[in-house]
Amino acid sequence: MLIPRSLSVLALMLALNVSASLADTHPQPNAARSDAEPETDQMIVRFKPNANILGVDRVLTQLSGSQVDRLRYVRTTEQDSDVFKWERRKSRKQMENLTQWLKSQPEVEYAEPDYIMTTMTLPNDSELAYQWSLLDTVTGIRAEPAWDLSTGAGSVVAVIDTGYRPHADLVANLLPGYDLISTTSVAVDGNGRDADASDPGDYYAAGECGGTTARKSSWHGTHVAGTIAAVANNGIGVAGVAYNAKVVPVRVLGKCGGYTSDIADGMLWAVGNTVSGTTVNRNPAKVLNLSLGGQNACGTTTQNAINAARAKGATVVVAAGNNNADAVSFSPANCAGVITVAATARDGGKAAYSNYGANVDVAAPGGSSYNGAAEGILSTLNSGLQQPEADSYAFYQGTSMATPHVAGIAALMYSVYPTITPDQVESALKSTARAFPATCTSCGVGLVDAEAAVNAALVLKQNDPYFALRADWSANKTLWASKQIRNYTYVLEQQIGTGSVQRYKFTVQNGSVTSGVNLATNRTLTSTQRKSVGKTIDQLFTLVDQALNAKYSTIQASYDAILGYPTNLYFDPKSTVTGDQSSYKASALTPF
């Protein structure tokens, strides 16, 4: 309270003394007990500077509770709020009800539970002790302190790989994926592309894939996905780097590998682009993990897919390769716009197999199982040698294992700053990477640090004046997309610069303006006029996106609460220039 502190304390003590005798006639609001676990026994309340003492008395009288659970004044904080304590702890629901009631009182400026905090404990997964790559403060990624800041909630990572097995330690974090393998001999599931991204196995016999030896099924995509987002705190197995993130499995690798054309389509599908013959991904990923590659140049097909993913705001993380060679000769590690990841061994130095070179950006733990299985990377797997059998866990090594560590950190970053850009993700990962604890020549700028990277994302968010605008834009665009309205009419009012206001009614079919009427003259627009002034709702979203990307000096936008489409937009590229502003108002939208 902002009245003199001595007077404040006296008033509160008097009020509480009175309240004890009036407890039976002034019952506590919302006093029914909940079965939920008690959370705290204290409340922080700040009364308004001009609050009447009698009004404060009334509030505290009703708040005090029964004779067996009396309220007492504890202290006045340095922020001039007052702390009160009951004799018994209350459940979270009770405290929420009390807080809501307090906020409704005219004498109260704010109120909040004085919750009890504890030290953050590690997940209770049974094999967590073997996950040195996450927890070791010298050679790991330092995930534990990062989890105090983010666990990946809200982030979606596409694992573009061999598909998935519904492992008990992973399945809760899986979203619907897609099988993009177009060749049945590679797919080995009896058909071509379909909506089933489950992994039937990628084993092959000697001579089948150009080699002289056979290979058992790898369940590679399941292992990679587990490193990123294995379920934590379920008492079994392992924990993922971003254990509250979701994984969209995109199957592009089968027997003998996978074709570049399928992998490129997999990237496009993962970020929500249309791929012929498939259904649209309703959970577009902001992080793409490609633990795959081949010894060739970065082709136009691959580069175009990467560019398209980045245009959707997605970060593409790729493996450097396992040939102990310069990564410049391996794709997609040598493509532009990707984060190329080298692998470190248990000691934090370069893993013997890892590729290296000038195009490597950072390094992450990839394991060194040749020194003992436990020096590898433990993750989810399947026990089947050919076809799927039981859930299992296994230690693997490779830049394929290093890459999901970085993808997981990126998911942590997107979780705290959803509109962070791919360039910002890469820059933050590089700027916060720490020095290698052992020799790792040409392994990028350093060993990734999860805590430091997430903190960097938080700083970027804090310094981004467009963050709220981007978040609002993204949420409403997602809402509009979820309605899948492709055929509709609506009225658009627009003003460009200092010109007169124009009003049109447009008809949109299959996402294109098919007709329009000038409402001032009631004349039908010609095709040329439609091309000039016609706009779909999606194009209005594009206008907002362009303004945000160009960082206009003024951006104002409001959206329809039910459908999410922009209803009132105002843009001013430069506040110093007169007549460069534009405004748009959408109304009367009617689907048909």
pLDDT given at position 212: 81
Q: Please enumerate, as own/partner, the contacts of 578-581 that have beta carbons within 8 Å and a separation of 24 or more.
A: 578/498, 579/497, 579/498, 580/497, 581/497, 581/554
pLDDT given at position 405: 98
Chain center to CA of 342: 24
Using alpha carbons, list the distances in angstroms from residue 274 to 39, 268, 278, 279, 445. Answer: 48, 7, 8, 8, 36
Using alpha carbons, list the distances in angstroms from residue 524 to 455, 487, 496. Answer: 55, 19, 21
214 or 7, which is more confident? 214
pLDDT given at position 73: 86
User: 518 near 546, Cβ under 8 Å?
Assistant: no
pLDDT given at position 80: 78
User: 379 near 393, Cβ under 8 Å?
Assistant: yes
- Residue 354 buriedness (CB in 10 A; 0-12 / 13-18 / 19+): buried
- pLDDT, tens digit, for every residue of 267-289? 999 999 999 999 999 999 999 99
519 or 23, which is more confident? 519
Percent of the chain beyond pLDDT 90?
Answer: 74
Residues 531, 550: Cα–Cα separation, whole Å: 24
Indicate which residues carry an active-site annotation.
Answer: 161, 220, 400
- pLDDT, tens digit, for every residue of 130-139? 999 999 999 9
Whether the bond between 332 and the residue before it is cis, its omega within 30 degrees of 0, is: yes
Strand 156-161 versus strand 246-251 pairing type: parallel
Residue 315: which of 282, 289, 333 has the closest Cα?
289
The pLDDT confidence band at residue 1, using thresholds 50, 70 and 90, is very low
Mean per-residue pLDDT, 26-55: 64
Residues 549, 346: Cα–Cα separation, whole Å: 42
| pLDDT over threshold 70, residue 38 | no
- pLDDT, tens digit, for every residue of 245-272? 999 999 999 999 999 999 999 999 999 9
DSSP 140-205: S--HHHHHTT---TT-EEEEEES-B---TTTGGGB---EE----HHHH-SSSSSBS--B-----B-
User: 125 near 232, Cβ under 8 Å?
Assistant: yes
DSSP 64-116: S--TTS-EEEEEE-TTS-EEEEEEEEEEHHHHHHHHHHHHTSTTEEEEEE-PP
pLDDT given at position 370: 83
- pLDDT, tens digit, for every residue of 59-84? 888 887 655 577 888 888 877 788 88
Using alpha carbons, list the distances in angstroms from residue 211 to 208, 377, 384, 489, 591. Answer: 7, 27, 22, 61, 58
Q: Is 395 left (phi over 0), alpha (psi -120 to 50) or beta?
A: beta
Q: How many CB atoms lie within 10 A of CB 435?
A: 9
pLDDT given at position 121: 59
Chain center to CA of 258: 28
User: 181 near 254, Cβ under 8 Å?
Assistant: yes
Q: How many CB atoms lie within 10 A of CB 13?
A: 13
Residues 159, 291: Cα–Cα separation, whole Å: 8
- For the chain, first and last CA: distance in Å? 58
What value does the mean pLDDT of the chain take? Answer: 90
Three-state secondary structure along 334-364?
CCCCCEEEEEECCCCCECCCCCECCCCCEEE
| pLDDT over threshold 60, residue 8 | no
The pLDDT confidence band at residue 24, using thresholds 50, 70 and 90, is very low
Residues 406, 425: Cα–Cα separation, whole Å: 10
Residues 256, 585: Cα–Cα separation, whole Å: 55
